[in-house]
Amino acid sequence: MDRVIIFDTTLRDGEQAAGAALSVQDKLDIARQLEKLGIDVIEAGFPISSPGDFEAVQLIAREIKKSSVCALSHANAEAIDRAWEAVRKAKKPRIHIFLSASDIHLLYQLKKTREEILEISLEMVARAKKYTDDVEFSPMDASRTEPAYIYRIAEAVIKAGATTLNIPDTVGYATPQEYGDLIEGIFKNVPNIGKAVVSVHCHNDLGLAVANSLEAIQRGARQVECTVNGIGERAGNAAMEEIVMALKTRSDFYHLTTNIDTTQIYKTSRLVSELTGFAVQPNKAIIGANAFRHESGIHQDGVIKKAITYEIMDPKSVGIPSSSLVLGKLSGRHAFKERLAELGYIMDEDSLKHAFQAFKELADKKREVTDRDIESLIAEELRTVTEVYHLDHVEVSCGNHNIPTATVRLIGPDGQAVADAALGTGPVDAVYEAINRIVKVPNKLTEFTVKSVTEGIDAIGEVLIRIESNGVSYSGRGADTDIIVASAKAYMNALNRLLAVKKVRK
């Protein structure tokens, strides 16, 4: 097989990242984008872990048609039944069972023998197999397990019906050579290995997740488990975009393909960053803000003469919008709509009307409107959080001899405008205090980042924040040429998410 199956676990292992909290609607939005990206298998969640996870997996299973939808399960009957209940309506359902295999886990955590683990694994694979043909099994902490025992488990679970055998480097401990040897050993020592796809699942504790995954692929693995932007438990999982682009850019070396439409990578990365509230570091490979920026004069000179001198990938191939002028103040609605379609956005008339209005306002403030600006503006329009409160007006007074003061006006759930004012330690604090006086939901601001979408003094500022209420965190995003307005929008976005969740829980 010369194609690598891309198994995305952003919605399961990715969401296990400390501080990530996605609503059911966020998860559905991400799943839809993953399907557009061409992901083969979407691990949508861990149904037994919470009612919210169950609901999200069930919803995704009903909606997604092209990708397989996978539910994670402990190796026990109740968890498997719950996983099946959540994915059974999927066009292509998969159950993924995991059970620890290393002596460290068996001795200190499970207090079970190897024989007991083997028996439970077989029994549970057989149980899942009664529900669906597509069953995956993971001997957890495989990279710290004696290889001979992994071979025994592998042979047994494949015999019981597992069609994918996943080999997790659960704690990100393996080196590429060791991990590759383990995968090669499986092909050499498991007689029925031809009946299953060998999968890899690498964590990034030593920064080796992508290197380990690629080495495993070299040694015969044909499914790779990864997450968008590499988010996940602790230091995260192998980054989907890095693996896919390594396989594509170095196809001369790997001679392998994937089903991924790489032009959707940037949009997917932005969506995941926005909804999880995790900003992407500027030097992040493939999708970081500096990934295609050339600073040195020699490099710039080379790229102007011929891009290939210093660029190994075309930024367009990962869907990075160009930062050169595309539209201006005089551009009409038709040109705007066409540009949106070229960027892959199809909007209904109502959203288009709002977006065009926002574009006109931006074009009035900014000399040049680029694809990056449009992309940031559209992210605002496509946000699916239903607003309970809408930011109608914000005004601040500040300076080195002024006490920062803010006045805000919000439109409430009853359609009435409510205004209030507050002082703060700075302009953003004053705005947040004024909003708090109206919305009255106790919360704590735990993260605040601001960055510019493009270069220049008139650039759009993008604010990503995270607030915490009752131990749950909510992210918010806002964009505007005025960073105080962007900050107010981000706060309203996070508050509206919080209020939407409260409404559902009532």
47 or 478: CB nearest ligand KIV = 47
Minimal CB distance to ligand KIV: which residue? 168
Which one of Zn ion, ligand KIV, none is in contact with 98 (Cβ closer than 5 to 8 A by kind)?
Answer: ligand KIV
Query: Tokens 């991924």 label which residue?
Result: 260
63 or 178: CB nearest ligand KIV = 178
What is the chain's alpha carbon radius of gyration, rounded to the nearest angstrom? Answer: 25
Q: What is the dihedral of CA 400, 401, 403, 409, to 10 degrees?
A: -70
203 or 477: CB nearest ligand KIV = 203
Report in angstroms how near the CB of residue 138 gets to ligand KIV at its nearest: 4
Q: CA-based angle 452:210:312, to the nearest 5?
A: 60
* Residue 201 within binding range of ligand KIV, rule CB under 6 A: yes
Q: How many CB atoms lie within 10 A of CB 183?
A: 22
Which of 68, 138, 163, 268 lies at the binding interface for ligand KIV (CB under 6 A)? Answer: 138
Q: What is the dihedral of CA 243, 244, 247, 251, to 10 degrees?
A: -160
Ramachandran angles phi, psi of 69, nearest 5°:
-115, 125
Minimal CB distance to Zn ion: which residue? 13
Report in angstroms how near the CB of residue 79 gets to ligand KIV at its nearest: 12
Report in angstroms how near the CB of residue 329 gets to ligand KIV at its nearest: 51
Q: What is the dihedral of CA 50, 52, 58, 63, to 10 degrees?
A: -150
- Distance (Å, whole) CA 438 – CA 219: 60
* Residue 94 within binding range of ligand KIV, rule CB under 6 A: no
Is residue 75 a contact partner of residue 93, using CB atoms and an 8 Å limit?
no
* Residue 69 within binding range of ligand KIV, rule CB under 6 A: no
Residues that bind Zn ion (CB under 5 A): 13
- Residue from 206, 207, 236, 212 nearest 224 by CA: 212
Three-class secondary structure assignment of 293-323: CCCCHHHHHHHHHCHHHCCCCCHHHHCCCCC
Is residue 85 a contact partner of residue 131, using CB atoms and an 8 Å limit?
no
Q: How many CB atoms lie within 10 A of CB 290?
A: 11
Report in angstroms how near the CB of residue 208 gets to ligand KIV at its nearest: 14
13 or 141: CB nearest Zn ion = 13
Report in angstroms how near the CB of residue 32 gets to ligand KIV at its nearest: 23
State how far the alpha carbon of 475 is from the alpha carbons of 370, 388, 447, 467, 497, in Å.
26, 16, 9, 6, 8
- Distance (Å, whole) CA 379 – CA 406: 26
Which one of Zn ion, ligand KIV, none is in contact with 140 (Cβ closer than 5 to 8 A by kind)?
Answer: ligand KIV
Which of 47, 168, 321, 404 lies at the binding interface for ligand KIV (CB under 6 A)? Answer: 168
* Residue 170 within binding range of ligand KIV, rule CB under 6 A: yes
Part of the chain binding ligand KIV (CB under 6 A), chosen from 164-172, 252-260, 269-277, 491-499: 164-172
Report in angstroms how near the CB of residue 98 gets to Zn ion at its nearest: 9
45 or 424: CB nearest ligand KIV = 45
Sheet holding 390-397, edge to edge: 390-397, 405-411, 417-423
Which one of Zn ion, ligand KIV, none is in contact with 40 (Cβ closer than 5 to 8 A by kind)?
Answer: none
* Residue type present at position 224: V
Report in angstroms how near the CB of residue 9 gets to ligand KIV at its nearest: 7
94 or 201: CB nearest ligand KIV = 201
Helix, strand, or coil (residue 259): coil
Which one of Zn ion, ligand KIV, none is in contact with 219 (Cβ closer than 5 to 8 A by kind)?
Answer: none
Contact letters for ligand KIV, residues 372-391 (x by CB under 6 A): --------------------
* Residue 13 within binding range of ligand KIV, rule CB under 6 A: yes
Query: Tokens 């960027």 label which residue?
Result: 343
Which one of ligand KIV, Zn ion, none is in contact with 383 (Cβ closer than 5 to 8 A by kind)?
Answer: none
CA within 13 Å, CB half, 495: 26
Report in angstroms how near the CB of residue 144 gets to ligand KIV at its nearest: 11
Report in angstroms how near the CB of residue 468 gets to Zn ion at its nearest: 25
Q: In sequence order, which residues have a C-beta less than 8 Å from that of residue 460 and are 6 or more positions away?
A: 362, 366, 373, 376, 377, 452, 453, 454, 479, 480, 481, 486
CA within 13 Å, CB half, 279: 17
Task: Please list the residues that pair with 99 across neighbouring strands.
Answer: 139
Burial of 445 (0-12, 13-18, 19+ CB in 10 A): middle
* Residue 140 within binding range of ligand KIV, rule CB under 6 A: yes
Which of 7, 84, 98, 151 lies at the binding interface for ligand KIV (CB under 6 A)? Answer: 98
Q: Please state whether beta strands 223-226 and 197-202 pair in parallel, antiparallel, or not at all (unpaired).
A: parallel
Which one of Zn ion, ligand KIV, none is in contact with 138 (Cβ closer than 5 to 8 A by kind)?
Answer: ligand KIV
* Residue 15 within binding range of ligand KIV, rule CB under 6 A: no
* Residue type present at position 280: V
Report in angstroms how near the CB of residue 141 gets to ligand KIV at its nearest: 7
* Residue 292 within binding range of ligand KIV, rule CB under 6 A: no
* Residue 164 within binding range of ligand KIV, rule CB under 6 A: no
The site that binds ligand KIV (CB under 6 A) totals a number of residues, namely: 9
Q: Name the residues that contact ligand KIV, by CB under 6 A.
A: 13, 98, 138, 140, 166, 168, 170, 201, 203
